[in-house]
């Protein structure tokens, strides 16, 4: 599930950032990266105005029509004739070698998003293991899924390339509990640990550019008038008398 634009990140706006506050934000993010071995960001996510309803469409809404099927098969058949298997494998290997980081965003029911970086060769299991380290109730069963259509991630051995999560993806978190009063109470509580929630919005502070001080303008000095070059008058030469001329 490639990252889409159906949701927006609610970021805090700052006009004047205290340098001490920016340094503290960078230190907290660096400490979290050192502790968990990954870059971590926490955002609050809100649906865009174009999203009219939060209700999920039924799975049959996304079923292929016969026209869709023949169109997809025709494009695959054309690609098969244009490129040999070795060429496709070489192109895929080259593409994999260029990508060194995958950004996974995990969205929780309380409208918070956890952003984590992985290597493309890591598996879905590494994502699940990381989620267990940061959620508030790791003792409860949970699962992650993509949508649309809703598809639960069951194969934990898939790497992010095989799962289609490169260069980035959005997955959704849900506790795997029966729908009763206890489940409702669990879903109303914070999903992430307080330590992780304290990172919320820090990347905005840390990424603020330092104020640039303008150089003072030189004091205006009264410029002395430039000297006026006087034109030198040509000297009149007296006619010289030849030596042989005598009066």
- The domains of the chain are located at 38-45+81-206
Q: What is the mean pLDDT of residues 145-162?
A: 92
104 - beta bridge partners? 116, 169
Report whether pLDDT(131) > 90: yes
Q: Which of 50-64, 120-134, 179-193 has the lowest mean pLDDT?
A: 50-64
* Predicted pLDDT at 195: 93
> Residue 3 CA to chain centroid, in angstroms?
10
* Predicted pLDDT at 153: 94
**Among 196, 185, 120, 133, which residue's Cα sits nearest to residue 159?**
120
CATH of 38-45+81-206, one of 3.10.20.90, 3.40.50.300, 3.30.1330.60, 3.40.50.1100: 3.10.20.90
**Among 40, 4, 50, which residue's Cα sits nearest to residue 172?**
4
Q: How confident is the model at residue 18 (pLDDT cuts 50, 70, 90)?
A: confident
- Please give the model's pTM, rounded to 2 decimal places: 0.63
* Calpha distance 174→121 (Å, rounded): 25
Q: What is the mean pLDDT of residues 25-46?
A: 89
Q: What is the mean pLDDT of residues 22-32?
A: 89
Q: What is the mean pLDDT of residues 78-97?
A: 69
* Predicted pLDDT at 112: 94
Q: How confident is the model at residue 241 (pLDDT cuts 50, 70, 90)?
A: low
Q: What is the mean pLDDT of residues 164-173?
A: 93
């Amino acid at each position: 599930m490639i990252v889409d634009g159906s949701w927006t990140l609610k970021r805090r706006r700052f006009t004047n950032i205290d340098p001490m506050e920016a340094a503290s934000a960078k230190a907290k993010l660096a400490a979290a990266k050192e502790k968990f071995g990954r870059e971590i960001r926490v955002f609050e996510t809100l649906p865009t105005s174009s999203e009219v309803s939060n209700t999920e469409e039924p799975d049959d809404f996304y079923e292929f029509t016969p026209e869709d099927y023949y169109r997809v098969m025709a494009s695959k058949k054309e690609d098969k004739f244009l490129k040999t298997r070795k060429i496709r494998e070489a192109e895929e290997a080259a593409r994999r070698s260029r990508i060194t980081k995958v950004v996974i965003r995990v969205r929780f029911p309380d409208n918070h998003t956890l952003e984590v970086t992985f290597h493309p060769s890591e598996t879905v299991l590494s994502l699940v293991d990381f989620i267990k380290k940061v959620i508030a109730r790791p003792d409860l069963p949970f699962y992650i899924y993509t949508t649309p259509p809703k598809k639960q991630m069951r194969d934990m051995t898939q790497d992010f390339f095989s799962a289609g999560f490169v260069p980035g993806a959005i997955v959704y978190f849900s506790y795997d509990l029966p729908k009763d009063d206890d489940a409702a109470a669990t879903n109303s509580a914070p999903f992430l640990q307080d330590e992780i929630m304290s990172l919320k919005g820090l990347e905005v502070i840390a990424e603020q550019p330092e104020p640039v001080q303008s150089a003072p303008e030189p004091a205006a000095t009264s410029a002395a008038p430039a000297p006026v070059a006087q034109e030198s008058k040509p000297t009149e030469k007296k006619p010289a008398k030849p030596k042989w001329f005598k009066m």
